[in-house]
Chains A and B, each alone.
Chain A
Amino acid sequence: MFQSNFGLNQNLVDNRNYSASPSNQGFVTTNNAERGTVVEVTGWTNANEKDLVSFIHRKTKINLKIVNADRNSGVLTASVKSEKDANILVKYNGIRFAGESLKINIVSAIDSSKSNNTVTLIKNILASRYDPGTMMLNLDGLRNGMNPEFQGLFATTQTASKFFLALMKIASQQQLKVESLNLSNNDLGNSQKDLIEVAVSFPTLKNLALSNNNITKIETIEKLKNKLPYLRELWIVGNPIDSPSFSSDIIKCFPRLSILNGVPVRDEGKLTNLLSFPFPCASSFFESPELQSVAIQFITTYLNFWDNDRMSLLNLFTPESQFSYHFDTTHIVEASSASISIKDSRTPNSVASSWGSYISNSRNLMRVSGIKSRMSKVFKGRDPISDAFQSLPTSKHRLDKDPSSYSIEVVSVPILNAMEICVHGSFVETGSPKKSNKEGHFKNGSKYTAYHTSSRSQLSERSFDRSLLVIAGTGGSYIVASDMLLLKQYSGQGGWSSDSHRGPVSSSPAASGLPVAQAPSSAIPADIVSKLSLSQQQILNRVFEDTKLTPQYSIMLCEQSNWDYNTAMINFNNSRAQIPKDAFL
């Protein structure tokens, strides 16, 4: 594909036609009043460029605009206002400056109107040479096919380099999606700036042709090391570095390079496997369909009450239940800038200001040592857990509105006759804690209590991992045996965000897809659910799932059974024959 696209200068013919295109006529319009000229000066290197400009102005009253000053080659390229100025300047050829004789040559006349239109010129080049279908930008032989009026832009390697830099930047600004870039036959030389700009502008480039560009140094290519992580095909034929002795060094620069000069150098399929996590990624896993329906409803309800009526959750806790939380400030990945509030991005927060509400009872066992301290930070039984709940900021999860932002895994724990629910995602803090850490009997004996009681963190968005061990109680109720919460700096969408919800690879009946959207119990109208207590919701959902009755009949059955699951099921089985057909889903 690349060979055919990047073939032997097939586009040069098109390039030559470029200047004759009616759409480009506007660029060749000249305005004599605005003509300018490029000059080259040598013999100036005993002083600096500013001194030269001052010297020339002092002697000739002509302003030099420096385009490029290269001390290695000793060539200074500059423009002057007009051809007339350039001719005056040439008369000073040989004038002594800083102990040397200056040599001044006219390189070419340029058109200032054209200079002003360089951006437009570049945009038209991009429009004519970019193929959105193949996502290919073909700049093969661009300098050869350029309208003669613009040849001044390629008068020297330096000016050509500046032109290509500008072109890459504008292409990047236009957000052109470029997978293939042909820069062959442009005499780029060893200009590392050009290539680095290529990598900056098109970091996801897959195919790159640099043939016939007089690249002599391997260092030029090595400047791209690890900057084009997706590059799979590279052409460098016709360059001095196109030598077997450099192949290994070139291949090492590009971790996904599979084809060099049309020759396979890596097995692409095998390489893909070597650079991919071999375990398929699914956003959710449920050990069985039964656990799926129960767990989804449970965690949705649990987080809903956590956000809106946290104290109601205490009914799920027994004297043996445990709750603890900890935070970790390690910064691993950046959240996308769009997801960070302006306030967050401007405020370099200390740990105290960011995590003040959490510090005193954070149970990161990497940092908390000593049995007394460790035990004081795990809350056991309703009253301590109630205090702990109230010491945390109020929050808002989006599990119901944006389930793809969450990941969930549910397995059974046979030894406890329980299920373990792990949920990962984020929440927004909406208000300060309702109770400070020093109130009541909370945190007795903690050495941190006094210090942190007044510390309240700025409200922000947090990422989290949470694990719940949930035991089936009597009458269709549940008991939370363990609730562990890990808080992290918000890091945007999780690692599961781009997956395609693949199914399991084993025979396990895992479910895939979005947890909430697929919950059958979502058929129960929200206005009905909102009028019920948490335990009533749980019973209703179980009855609804197990009987396949409509929400209205499920509620009727629950009410007639005094909201006891076992009674409801007995009543259902006893009267099943009399239940009308339309009572079922």
Chain B
Amino acid sequence: MSDPTAKLENFLKALLKSLDLQPLSEQSPEMYANTILPQLQTPSRVIINGTPYGSKQVFQQTWATLPSTQHQLLSYDAHLIPTGQPQSIYSILARVRVRFDESGRNRLGDTADLVPVSRPPRPLYSPWFGVSLKLIADEQLNQTFECECISSFNYRITEKPESSVFTL
């Protein structure tokens, strides 16, 4: 008997990595947006802080406007649920923390500057925010992470630091 949860940690880390990915210099904003959470099914249930995004593309384009982020997986648990069909589904509950660049520049390089301001290339990260991540994903992820296997993605910021410049 093999461990049905063996690949989930790497899977979750791959998802978080795609949320933090910086655009490459040769990528157009549209191309870059497509690299954000490509594992989402079309359509899928994407709920961010209680707001639903029926369109994968709208979610990706909105996420692409964020400043640089850094996610860390803290803990997770998962159940493999039989569906009565050949493929079962994973119900995954994870705790994540995230911080945001507060230097006044988003990941596409946009700023609000009206006068020249020199900035260090590195992000100036906010304090950590706590995130509850709830996923429903197809068992297919055990074959490859490069597939549209997430049918439900619920990202809820549950803890916000008082001292953060970045706001919800």
Q: Which of B16-24, B25-33, B111-119, B142-150 contacts A (4 or more CB under 8 A)?
A: B111-119
Chain A, 267-282, CB within 8 A of any chain B CB: 267-271, 273-282
Cα distance, A378 to B161, chains bound together (Å): 33
Contacts A274-B112, A422-B132, A469-B81; A281 near B168 (Cβ below 8 A): yes
A569 at the interface (CB under 8 A from B): no
Q: How far is the CA of A269 from the CA of B112 in the complex (A)?
A: 8
User: Which of B50, B65, B83, B95 is within 8 Å of A328, CB to CB?
Assistant: B95
- Nearest residue (CB) in A for B111 is A274
Provide the bound-state CA to CA distance between A363 and B119, in Å. 44
Contact of A526 with B by CB under 8 A: no
Asked if B82 contacts A486 (CB within 8 A), the reply is no
Contact B76 A364 (CB under 8 A): yes
In the complex with contacts A251-B117, A366-B74, A508-B54 CB distance below 8 A: yes
Q: Roughly how many angstroms separate A227 CA and B97 CA in the complex, as a whole number?
A: 23
Q: Mark B58-92, 1 if CB is under 8 A from A, else 0.
A: 10001101110000011111110111010001010
Query: Nearest A residue to B48 by beta-carbon distance?
Result: A279
Q: Which residues of A contact B162 (CB under 8 A)?
A: 333-334
Which of B78, B82, B154 meets A411, CB within 8 Å?
B154
Do A280 and B51 touch across chains, with their CB atoms under 8 A apart?
yes
A258 to B113, CA, bound (A): 9
- Chain A nearest CB from B51 CB (Å) reads 5
Taking a contact as CB atoms under 8 Å apart, the answer to whether B75 and A285 are in contact is no
Q: Does B106 contact A (CB under 8 A)?
A: yes
Q: CA separation between A481 and B5, bound complex, in Å?
A: 18
Known A280-B51, A409-B50: A364·B5 in contact at CB below 8 Å = no
Say whether A366 contacts B105, CB under 8 Å: no
When distances are taken between beta carbons in the complex, the residues of chain A under 8 Å from B102 are 255, 275
Q: How far is the CA of A320 from the CA of B79 in the complex (A)?
A: 11
B65 cross-chain contacts in A, Cβ below 8 A:
273, 278
Give the Cβ gap from B44 to chain A, nearest Cβ, in Å.
10
Interface size class of A (residues with CB under 8 A): 35 or more
**Which A residues lie within 8 Å of B158 (CB)?**
407, 424, 463, 465, 491, 494-496
Q: Which residues of chain A are near B164, meaning CB under 8 Å?
A: 229
Indicate whether B93 reaches chain A with its CB closer than 8 angstroms.
yes
A265 CA to B104 CA, complexed, in Å: 12
CB of A416 within 8 A of CB of B51, answer no
Check A495–B160 contact: CB distance below 8 A.
Answer: yes
Q: State whether B157 touches A266 (Cβ < 8 A).
A: no
Cα distance A107–B85 when bound, in Å? 92
Partner of A268, one of B55, B62, B112, B154: B112
C-alpha gap A270/B105 in the complex (Å)? 10
Asked if A326 is at the interface (CB within 8 A of a chain B CB), the reply is yes
How far, in angstroms, from A412 to B43 measured CA to CA in the complex? Answer: 13
CB distance from B48 to the nearest CB of A (A): 4
Q: Does A35 lie at the interface of the complex (its beta carbon under 8 Å from any beta carbon of B)? A: no
B53 partner residues in chain A, CB cutoff 8 A? 505-506
Q: Are A488 and B95 in contact (CB under 8 A)?
A: yes
Contact of B119 among A226, A252, A276, A320 (CB under 8 A): A252
Question: 10 extra interchain contacts, Cβ-Cβ under 8 A, other than A266-B114, A371-B1, A415-B89?
Answer: A251-B113, A320-B82, A330-B97, A365-B76, A374-B3, A409-B50, A420-B134, A467-B91, A484-B93, A496-B158
Interface residues of A (CB under 8 A from B): 226, 229, 247-248, 251-252, 255-256, 258, 264-271, 273-285, 287, 320, 322, 324-328, 330, 332-334, 363-367, 370-371, 374-375, 378, 407, 409, 411-413, 415-416, 420, 422, 424, 463, 465, 467, 469, 481-482, 484, 486, 488, 491, 494-496, 498-499, 502, 504-508, 510
- 6 closest residue pairs by CB, A with B: A282-B50, A271-B112, A270-B112, A328-B75, A371-B3, A495-B157
